[in-house]
Amino acid sequence: MTLAHRIVPCLDTDGARVVKGVHFERLRDAGDPVGLAVRYNAEGADELVVLDIAAARDNRPTFLETIRRVAEQLAIPLTAGGGIRSLEDARAVVRAGADKVTVNTAAVERPALLGELSREFGAQAVVLAIDAKRENQGWQVRIRGGRAATQWNAEDWARRGVEMGAGEILLTSVDRDGTQSGFDLALTAVISRSVSVPVIASGGAKLPQHFLDVFTEGAADAALASSIFHDQVQSIRALKEFLQSSGVAVRLPC
């Protein structure tokens, strides 16, 4: 009886369609979110993340409709985010069927948002997304899709975010994102050991070994990837079988 390490596919959308690119650039269409959600649900994904990476105001109703259509098909938890700036934004996403909401830039600009969300939905529904970039001896927190620098060091911000009400951290390595060269293990381990909440590692996944490394050396509780699952480079079931045979607790459907 052990808590399983989670495999979390992520759908980056422009509101309506799944898109992909490196560092939010050179976006191209990667499919219908509902079709992918159905496939991941059946393949044994432990959870699904759906992000609106455009996060444009006028596009909001489209994104909410996407969440509704995806939620309709899922029997696993759904996390949604991108462009959530207020309690009201979060309510709309939860009402559309998300179990958890993720916040990033808005939380850096106004950390009290985390407390507001946590009081309304419970800390288990509040995911703080942190984009971290290696800088000198540590990692700096970046916002606005990784483009803008902040004064925060990733460790301090993660701890502060948890104090303010975050119940989970979605940690993306800006350096590794889109490179398929493996997760940033040092970053993941540092953050995972400095907070009391679960950490989802993101950025750089390709090989099954990358996942094994991030669960062992990186001390991650969950690992997220997008394009390797969308493009069927890696099947979730085969990945989980590899992890189980390597001694990592995972959920294989019985």
* Residue numbers annotated as active site: 12, 131
Task: Provide, rounded to whole angstroms, the least separation between the CB of residue 139 and other proteins.
Answer: 21
Q: Which candidate, 22, 11, 27, places its Cα nearest to that of 175? A: 22
C-beta of 199: minimal distance to other proteins in Å? 8
3-state secondary structure of 46: coil
Hey, CA dihedral for 51, 54, 55, 60, is it positive or negative?
negative
Q: Which of 52, 89, 168, 175 binds other proteins (CB under 8 A)?
A: 168
Which value, in Å, is the radius of gyration of the alpha carbons in the chain?
17
CB of 11 to other proteins, least distance (A): 17
- Does 31 engage in binding with other proteins (CB under 8 A)? no
Rounded Cα distance, 46 and 84, in Å: 23
Site for other proteins, residues 186 to 215, rule: CB under 8 A? 196-198
Nearer to other proteins, 4 or 27 (CB): 4
Q: Does residue 99 touch other proteins according to CB under 8 A?
A: yes
Look at the chain and count its residues: 254
Using the rule CB under 8 A, give the single segment among 12-20, 106-114, 115-123, 132-140 that binds other proteins: 115-123
Within 13 Å and on the Cβ side, how many CA atoms surround 58? 0
Q: Which stretch binds other proteins (CB under 8 A): 49-57, 89-97, 177-185, 201-209?
A: 89-97
Q: Does 123 bind other proteins (CB under 8 A)?
A: yes
Please tell me the distance from the alpha carbon of residue 182 to that of residue 171, in angstroms, as a whole number.
14
Residue from 8, 44, 1 nearest 215 by CA: 8
Q: Are 52 and 82 in contact (CB under 8 A)?
A: yes
143 vs 166, beta carbon nearer other proteins: 166
Q: Per-residue x/- mask for other proteins, residues 40 to 79, rule CB under 8 A? A: -x----xx-----------------------xx-xxxx--
Angle between helices 208-216 and 236-245 (to 10 degrees): 50
CA distance 61 to 203: 28
Q: Does 119 bind other proteins (CB under 8 A)?
A: yes
Q: Kindly list the residues in this chain that would bind other proteins in the complex (CB under 8 A).
A: 1-6, 41, 46-47, 71-72, 74-77, 94-95, 97, 99, 119-125, 167-168, 196-198, 221-222, 251, 253-254
